[in-house]
């Protein structure tokens, strides 16, 4: 239980850091200009931190729930499998929805997909190397 709490907190913090790096770098800023007309002009850092921490706990918990069902014989491979699963449902489906509903440049969507894959792989590997269900 203590290990789960520590990894969940670490992954929530990592989520926030990775989101910042992915969304605040100069390339992302240029690509995301398409959202400027609807983007907030300021952010609420407390809400962002809380949301990322909650996501860390939820994702670590889901990883543990799915652990035995994930492909792979090692925690590392299970973490990568989990990363691809979450990436598809979180990132790819969101990008596909944006492509269908909004006039978003393909390069912006591709950046989101690739950056999201990197983020999910980092988190999945973290889970795979540090979490194992207790029986």
Paired tokens of 132:
């194992």
For each successive 10 residues of the chain (135 residues), what is the average pLDDT? 94 93 92 89 87 96 96 96 97 96 94 97 97 88
Which structural domain, as residue segments, surrounds residue 123? 2-130
- Residue 25 confidence (pLDDT): 92
Backbone angles phi, psi at 40, to 5 degrees: -70, 150
Residue 135 lies in a domain: no
pLDDT score for 41: 84
Phi first, then psi, for residue 131 (nearest 5°) are -115, 135
Question: Does residue 100 belong to any structural domain of this protein?
Answer: yes
Is the residue at 117 inside a domain? yes
């Amino acid at each position: 239980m203590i290990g789960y709490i520590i990894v969940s907190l670490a992954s929530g913090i990592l989520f926030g850091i990775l989101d910042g790096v992915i969304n605040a770098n100069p390339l992302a800023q240029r690509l995301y200009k398409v959202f400027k007309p609807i983007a907030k002009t300021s952010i609420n850092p407390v809400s962002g931190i809380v949301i990322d921490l909650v996501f860390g706990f939820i994702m670590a918990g889901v990883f543990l729930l799915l652990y035995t069902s994930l492909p792979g014989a090692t925690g590392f491979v299970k973490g990568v499998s989990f990363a691809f699963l979450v990436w598809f449902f979180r990132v790819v489906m969101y990008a596909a929805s944006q492509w269908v509903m909004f006039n978003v440049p393909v390069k912006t969507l591709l950046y989101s997909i690739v950056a999201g894959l990197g983020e999910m792989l980092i988190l999945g590997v973290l889970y795979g190397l540090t979490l194992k269900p207790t029986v």
